[in-house]
Structure 1
Amino acid sequence: MKQLVRTFLLVVIAALGMMYAAKMLNSSAGYSSGNTLTIYNWGDYIDPDLIKQFEQESGIKVIYQTFDSNEAMMTKISQGGTAFDISIPSEYAISKMKEENLLQKLDHSKLPNLQYIDPRFMHLSFDPDNAYSIPYFWGTLGIVYHPDLVGDLTFESWDELWSEQLRNQILLVDGAREVIGMGLNSLGYSLNDTNEEHLQEAVKKLTKLTPNVKAIVGDEIKMLLANEEAAVGLVWSGDASEIMDENDVLEYTVPEEGSNLWFDNMVIPASARNVEGAHQFINFMLDPEVAAQNAEYVGYSTPNKAALELLPEDISGDERFYPDEELTARLEVYNNLGAKMLSHYNELFLQFKMHRK
């Protein structure tokens, strides 16, 4: 009998231990409950002091996790194993997440600080009424270059990349939309073009660029350009800012034919558990002082018009990263082209990469 009681007690203790372990595991995996808010963001994409400030002001504990691609983020959210309350996807990902019912609508009445967002960055094609998303950071796709290594080239036009003096001197980001889009823009077409003749024309032109392409790379492009291991790079403006912080000789420009205007946006996933806390956090991040502090820490462009007035002039007045309305009017966001066309873009990009070999 004693042995039976002892066995029963051991079973109960083991069960309680497993319940506690499961609770801790769920907490570490990002499950929200009570006064907890789980945020899913890109790495190093917020000032940590602001998280502490929000926790102190709201009394809400923040659990912060990071991802390194929109695809990885969407996969994890769609699997539903973790209840994230806020995520920060890019514009094309928002279109896809809306289609797959992975987002819930925002209550604008709980976001009074929305008034501070520049109207230029509201009501865009991927979310016309901002029903699901609020701008977080924005930027462009352009060219970083070393003035002393490119002669008289200033890259006012994409066509200058095809100059013979740039043999083996160009680094490209490893992205189908970016590279194929560059080819389309250089021909005067939209970077969302789906016309097959235009796409083939763009690939044909890109194959003529291959003698100038030193490599197609990922995140290492920042280090390579900062170390002057290539004269020119196709990069996003946020990366350009980091590169130029490391090497202030370098310049950044967006060609006049146009390019990509990208946005990362705050959203509330459909599976969120702390919806009230999520609205509180979004509104907190929209506060001009908070947005200015975050922009200065991260180095990317804030869409918060009131925050611009609080930033140092050497940041807010830098037209390379805060271009005027004339330039932004020529820029395009990436539309969600659908799985079939996106696959075709990837095939064309692979065709271009194979030609280099």
Structure 2
Amino acid sequence: MKKFLAALIAILALCAGLAYGSDQLTKSTGDTGNKVLNLYNWGDYIDPSLLTKFQKETGYHVNVETFDSNEAMYTKIKQGGTSYDLTVPSEYMVEKMKADHMLIPLDKSRLVGMNHYGHSFLNKSFDPHNKYSIPYFWGTLGIIYNDQYVKPGSLEHWNQLWSKKYRNDIMMIDSARDILGFSLISMGQSVNTTNSAELIRAKDKLNRLSPNVKAVGADEIKMYMAEGEAPVAVDWSGEASEMMSQNSHLHYVVPTEGSNMWFDNLVIPKTAKHFKAIYAFLNFMNQPKNAAQNAEYIGYSTPNMSAFKLLPKATQDDKQFYPTQNLIDRLQVYSNLSPQKVQEYNDLYLEFKMHH
């Protein structure tokens, strides 16, 4: 997903350990007793003060362990050994874990507050009827530009990235699905296509974009953009939010023809043991006041519409991170592809990077 460098994750995990006590779980500690909840989460992806509040209200202590990719989380849970009660996969990984029988269905009779979630964020293709997952945060892929170099309003469509005026100007997130995805969207295709001819055309079109690509990277994009060293980037909305907080000349645009809409979700893995604590925590996070506090701390978009109404008006009105329903309807969610098709995406993406 879309978070932080491994080194930063390690630092955050260390800080979490200092803040929460015995947060770094092992096979022999942290997973016994009835007054604990073992949460396996992305780094710095929950307001620490909410964990303190939860413990005070319920008496359940939250042990936190962090991961830096969906795949790392999947592998750790698949291997077993640690009894995680909750984890936070992205949409395609929910689908994969469900198919691999790694999740426990939600007991809807024990959930309170599901009515707070917007219809656009429920019953998605990766988990019909939310049998296994509760939406946690969501976001988009889009274009970040610096108004000192790019005229506002001149980058509203993916195809405009191919303009010769952006030669050697564009930073791009290092992600096969995202980069091939926006090329596919620019040609009116699905981000989940399994048609090899369409994928090759998308890669060939990316090859023609190469002269405009300054670099393909990850966290360093934030530094380049924040310091004004690159005029344009293709990156995720949460990363854009962080960049924009450091440079007032930066703006985020979701192209009008659509983009990827991603979801991170709370799920119960098969390793779970502490079900009273699990449902106490889920219901706690469903509360609008708590969800709003978490959204303000994290900076990503909340799917909890009652929480959304509690956010500052400037945040509510920010169409960069809370787009109109009309645009939301044009956003596409990634499906879990077969291992063979994932390899095909990765191989074509590697060819593009080598061409660049």
TM-score (norm 2): 0.91
- 1:302 counterpart residue number: 302
More helix, by proportion: 1
Q: 1:163 maps to which residue?
A: 163
Establish whether residue 97 from structure 1 lines up as the match of residue 97 from structure 2.
yes
Shift of 1:219: 1.6
* 1:215 equivalent in structure 2: 215
> Is 2:25–2:82's contact at 8 Å kept on the other side of the alignment?
no
Residue 313 (structure 2) aligns with: 313
Shift of 1:247: 0.7
Shift of 1:26: 3.8
Aligned to 1:236: 236
State the Cα distance separating 1:28 from its structure 2 match: 7.3
Query: Residues 153-187 of structure 1: CA distance to partner in whole angstroms, max 9, x if unpaired?
Result: 63211011011111111011110000000110111
CA distance in 1, matches of 2:315, 2:146: 21
8 Å Cα contact 1:150-1:231 kept in structure 2: yes
Task: Report percent identity of matched pairs.
Answer: 51
Residues 1:270 and 2:258 are matched in the alignment: no
Query: For the structure 1 residues 236 and 29, does the alpha-carbon distance in structure 2 shift closer, same or farther, using more than 3 Å as the test?
Result: farther
Bigger mean CA deviation after superposition, 195-204 or 129-138? 195-204
Distance 1:314 1:64 in 2: 32
| SS at structure 1 position matched to 2:234 | strand
User: What letter corresponds to residue 353 of structure 1 in structure 2?
Assistant: K
In the TM superposition, what is the alpha-carbon distance from 1:25 to its structure 2 partner? 7.3
Q: Distance in 2 between matches of 1:306 and 1:71?
A: 32
In 2, the alpha carbon distance for the partners of 1:116 and 1:28 equals: 38
**Equivalent-residue separation in structure 2 for 1:194 and 1:156 (angstroms):** 27
Partner of 1:131: 131
Partner of 1:18: none
Q: Is the 8 A contact 1:153 1:160 kept in 2?
A: no
Equivalent pair of 1:51/1:62 in contact (CA under 8 Å): yes
Counterpart of 1:147, as a letter, is D
Instruction: Tell me, in whole angstroms, the C-alpha distance in 1 between the residues paired with 2:161 and 2:180.
Output: 14
Q: Counterpart in 2 of 1:175?
A: 175
- Equivalent position SS for 2:258: coil
Higher Cα radius of gyration? 1
User: Paired residue for 1:248?
Assistant: 248
Q: Which runs of 4+ in 1 moved over 3 A?
A: 24-30
Is the Cα contact below 8 Å between 1:30 and 1:84 reproduced in 2? no
In structure 2, the residue matched to 1:117 is 117
Q: What amino acid maps onto 1:135 in structure 2? A: P
TM-score, structure 1 normalization:
0.91
Asked whether the 8 Å contact 2:174–2:218 carries over to 1, the reply is: yes
Residue matched to 1:281? 281
Mapped to 2, the partners of 1:328 and 1:161 lie a distance apart of 22
Tell me the number of residue pairs that the alignment of Structure 1 and Structure 2 aligns: 333
**1:326, CA displacement in angstroms?**
0.2
CA RMSD of aligned residues (A): 1.4
Aligned to 1:300, the other structure's residue is in SS state coil
**What residue in structure 1 maps to residue 292 of structure 2?**
292
**CA distance in 2: counterparts of 1:79 and 1:274, whole angstroms:** 20
The one-letter amino acid of 1:229's match is E
C-alpha distance in structure 2 between counterparts of 1:61 and 1:76, whole Å: 22
Which letter does structure 1 place at the counterpart of 2:163? S
Q: Could you tell which deviates more after superposition, 343-352 or 26-35?
A: 26-35
Q: Judging changes above 3 Å, is the alpha-carbon distance between structure 1 residues 147 and 54 closer, same or farther for their aligned structure 2 residues?
A: same
Which string of whole-angstrom CA distances, capped at 9 and with x for unpartnered residues, describes residues 4-39 of structure 1? xxxxxxxxxxxxxxxxxxxx9747764243211110
Q: Which runs of no fewer than 5 residues in structure 2 stay unpaired?
A: 1-23
Which secondary structure state, in structure 1, belongs to the residue aligned with residue 189 of structure 2? coil
| Distance verdict in 2 for CA 1:25–1:121, change over 3 Å | closer
For residues 182-234 of structure 1, what are the alpha-carbon distances to aligned partners after superposition, in whole Å with 9 as ceiling and x for unaligned?
11011111111111121111111100000110111012211221111111111
Separation in 2, partners of 1:173, 1:25: 31
Task: Please state how far the C-alpha of 1:115 moved relative to its aligned partner.
Answer: 1.0
Structure 1 regions of 5+ residues with no counterpart?
1-23
> How far apart, CA to CA, are the structure 2 residues paired with 1:315 and 1:300?
11
Opposite residue 80 of structure 1, the aligned amino acid is: G
Is the CA contact 2:25–2:64 (under 8 Å) kept in the aligned structure 1? no
- Aligned pairs for 1:19-58 (under 5 A) are 26=26, 30-58=30-58
